[in-house]
Structure 1
Amino acid sequence: MTATQTAPEWTAEELTELAELQTRNESLPEDAPRGLLSVRLSILTEDTTSPARQELDLRRYANREGIRVVGVARDLGVSATKKAPWERKELGDWLNNRIPEFDLILFWKLDRFIRRISDLHEVIKWCEKFGKNLLSLNDTLDLSSPMAQAMVTFIAAVAEIEAANTKTRVSSHWEYTKQQDQWRIGKPSYGYTTARVDGKLRLVQESEQARAVRYMYRAAMRGVPANRIAKVLDRAKVPTYSNRKWNNQQILRTLRNPAVKGIRTEGGTKATTYKSTPVLDKRGQEIRVTDEPILTGEEFEKVQAALAIRAKNKRHHEKNRRPTRFLGVMKHECGRNVNETNNYKSLSTGEIKEYRYLRCPDCRKPGFVIPDPEHAYSALAQAVFEALGDFEVIRREYARGDENRRERTRLEESIAYYMTGLEPGGRFDKSGFIREKAETTLDALMSDLGKIDPESTKDRWIYESTGITYSQHWKSGGIEAMERDLLSAGITFELSRQDDGEILGKLVIPHDVKERLIRMDNNWG
C-alpha cells in the first residue's frame, strides 16, 4: 500500500517562531559551524512527529549550540528503508552536489535519517572522506573514533530491527484482512470505490471508471489494439490512474487484473510485472468484495483468451526488438521521444522481411516516419561531434581546506605573538640580536601567510582537465558513452518533417552545456 504525502501546513505560531529562529541564526558569526537540517517522514499521522516540529526542534538546538543553519532538506513521503539518504530528492542533492556548503548534518532522530546498517556504513565512509559530522537531536552520535562509530552502528541496528518489526506487523495485519469479505486496507482497483453496504465497507462501481472498463472489454473482444483503445479514452477525457494520458500498458493491466471481477487480489508489484493474483479462502474459493462486479468470471476468461491470441501474433516481433538508440535525446518537434519500431512483411518465398523505422507515438496520421534509423543516428552523432567534439573533458574533484585552515590559524597566532612581543614593553622590545631575530621570524611568517590562497582554506570543488577531448572520449567509449553524456547534459536532437517531405534535424544545446558535461565521481558504494 502506498501513501501520497502532501506538504505540511504550518500554524501561525510555528511560522512566528520560525521567523524568530531564522533571525537569530543570521546573527551567528560567519565562521560558526554550518549545519544542514534533514527532515524526513514516511507517512504523516497523529502519532508521528510532524515535519514542522522536527524543523523547529532542530533550529532551536542549532541556535543553542551556535550552529549556523545553511539549508533544510525536506523529504516527505519517503521511506528510509527504501531510499538511502543520497537517493532522496532534496537530501541527495546536498550530499552529491552541495558538499562544500555545510559542515555537519543535523536530524531529529537516527531513524528519521537512516534505517539500514549498510546505508549507515556508506554515510560514515562519506563523512570521513569529506570531513563531515552527523548530529542527532535525540541520539548520542559521535564519529570521532572506531568505538563511537560502533555505537552509532548499534543504534542503527535497533532502528533496522524496529523497521522490520513494523513490516511484520503490517504483513500480519494484511494476512488477517485479506481473508475478510469487506474492504479494510489498500486502494481499490480501477473501476471501483468503497462504500458502506449493510454496515460493511465493500467495493462498489465508480460509474465513469466502470463504463471505461466495459468499453475496454468490448473493444478488446472486437480485436481493437490496446493503443487504439487508449486514444479513444484520451479523446473522451476519461480519467486514468494518475491523471496522465492513457497508454496500451494501462489498458492491458486493467483488463488482465482479476480484481476487475470484484474479488480480492494480492501482488501487483513491479517485480512481478504488476500481475495480481486472486486471494483464496480456506476452501480455495475466491473472496468476493463486491456485489456488483464490472466483469463476470466468464467475461474475464473470454477477454484473457482474446488478449492471449493477439499477444501470440506479436511474439515473433518482440524477439528481434532492440532498444531505441539515443532514447530521450532524439525527439519529435512536438516534444515526445522518437522510438524505433520494427515491422515485418511476409515475402512470396516464405521469408519474413524486417523493416525498422523511427516514429513519434503521438503523430502517426499523417505519419511522422523515418524509414532509415541508422541515417538519423549517424546525422545526430555527426552534429554532436561537430558542435561538442573539441570540448575538453573536465572532471570535478572535491578539495578539503582543513589542512590549509589549520596552517593559516597557526601562522596568524604566531604573527600575533611576535607582533605583541615587539610592541613597547614586549618580550622582544630590546635592541640587538633578540629584536632582529624576532623581526626576521615575523617577516618569514607573514611571507608564508601571504602564500596561502584564501580559497584553499575552504572546502570546495576543483575542476581539472583530463587531457582528452569529448571526440576522443566518445570514439573510445562508443555510442553508449555519447548517449549517457547527452542525456545528463540535457542535449536534444529535434526532428521535423518539412513541407517537401524532407526530415530536418536540429541539435538543441543548453547555454550551460560545459558545466552540465563535467564528469563527476560517484561517492556511494
Structure 2
Amino acid sequence: MRAAIYVRLSRETEESTSPERQRAACEALCEARGWTVVAVEEDIDVSGFSRGLERPGLQRILQRLAEFDVIVFYKIDRLARSTVDFAEIMKLSERQGVALASATEPLDLTSSMGRAMAKVIAVFAELESDTIGMRVSNAHEHLRREGRWTGGRIPYGYRVAPNPNGAGRVLEVNPEEAKTVHMIVERVLAKDSLMKIAVDLSKSDIPSPGHSSRQSTGKRSDSKQWYTTTLKSLLTNPQLLGQVIEDGKPILRTDGLPLVNRPPILDMDTWHALQDELKRRAHPGEKRREGTSLLRGVLYCGVCDSRMYAFIGAKGQLRYRCIGRLKHRQRTGVRGKCYGPSIAGKTTEAHITSQFLATFGGLPVVRMVEHAGEDFRPQIRQAEDALSDLEKDRYERGLFKGEDGAARYATQYAKLEERLASLKEKQRNAKPAGVEAVPTGKTYAELWEEADIAGKRDLLLDAGTFVQVAPAQKAGPRLDPSRFSIFFGEDGVIRRADADGKDVEAAVREVVEREAQEQAAP
C-alpha cells in the first residue's frame, strides 16, 4: 500500500509532539504494516483550528488522493481540530478509496464502528482545542493587564523592550516612529489631505506600519509605500493613547474606563481634535470639498448674492461663475434676474490670496481645541451601588460568614469607601467641558505655504473671508480689482451667513464667543 505521511505542529517549539517525533512514529507504523511511504507533507507553525482545511501541506495531500492508499498521521488532532473538518477529510478520502491511519491511536477506520469511534475522539480533540484556546486567551488578557507584551503585531509608534519590573517584555515608545506620528497629526490638523501626506511619507522612505523591518510576524510587506487607508487605521487606533486593545476593542478596567498601562503617544486633547477633523472629512459634504477650487464658499455674486462655482472655460482656463439663475429656475420654474456673471479664476485667486496674506500673513494662528470635560458621576454611582450591594451581601443575604468573614467584609468596605471618596474629590476638581484656543506656533503665511488647496480654503474660511464680485463694467483680458468687495473676520462671517440664508444672530454670537476665547488664551 502507498502511504502519505502528514505532520502538523502549531508551534515548532512544542517538543512533546515535535515534527521529528511525529514523522518517526508514522514511519514506524508504515514499516510494521509493510506500507511504502511515497509522500511526506508538513504544516509547521500552522493552526489546525484557525486554518481548518486551508493548510498547504494538507491540501497537497488532498489534491493527490488518487496516488495514495492510506494517509498516516500521529494523532487525530494533528489531522483536524474540529469534527466538521475531520468528517470532511473522511468523506474525501473514502470517495477515493483512501484509508486513514493514526500512528498512536488503535482505530480501524475501515469499519462503521471504527469511524464512529474516530468521530468521538475528534469531538474530544475539538473540546481540548477550545479549552486550550480559552486558557491562552485568559492568560494573554492577564499579561496585558499587567502591562506585558504578549506578541503579535507591534503597534506603530512603539517597540518591544525587556520588562524593567520583572519577567517578559513590554512596549515602550519608539522615538522615531512617535516623531512620525506627531508630524502626521500636525499635518492633518493643518488641513493637509491624507493622500498628500501618504505620498510624502512614501517619498521620504519612512517604513510603513506593516513593513517587514518592524514586523516579525503576521502580514508583512517589503514595500515602504504608505496609503490613505494605512493613515486612517493608524490615526483612529486608540493604542496611540496607551490603551490596550484585544479583538479590536480596548480592555476595560473594573470602573469601565479603558486600561492604559503603557506611555501614550498623543495627549487626550490632541486625540479629540484629530478625531473631530477625521470625522469632518468623512462627512459627504466635506468629501466633496476636497476636490474643489480654492475660492469655493468665498466668492459670491454681487447681483443675486449666490455662491460662485469654478468651471473650465472654452479655452481650458479656470473661471468662476454664478449659477443663481439656474438654481432659481430649478426652484421656481422661471428664470431669475441674475444673468450669471463670471470671472477669470487664476488671476482672481492670486488677487484674493495677496489681500489675505497682506492682512493676516504675519499673524499667529491658534487652533480651537474642544475639551470633552471630566465627569466622574457615573463612576460615583457605580461605587455607591457596590457599597449598597456589599451591605446586602452581609446583612440580607447572609454572606461573609465564618471567623474571618467580618474582617473580609471590613476590608472590602474600606476599599470601596476610599474609592468613593477619591472619586468625589475628583468630581469637585473636574475639568469642565469647553473650547480652548491653543497657539500653533505658526503664522498664517507659514501655514498657507505648507497647506494644499483644501487647507488653504479652510484658512480663508476660518478667517471669515467673504468676497462679493460685481458685474464687469468693461470687457478686457486684465483683472479689474474694483469688481471685488473683500471682507474679513466678523464682517465676512456675518455677510456669508446672510447670503446663505442662515441665522445671522447665531453667527454673531459664535463670532463673539470665539473672540472671547482667543483673548483668554495664554
Give the TM-score normalised by the residue count of structure 2: 0.49
Give the TM-score normalised by the residue count of structure 1: 0.49
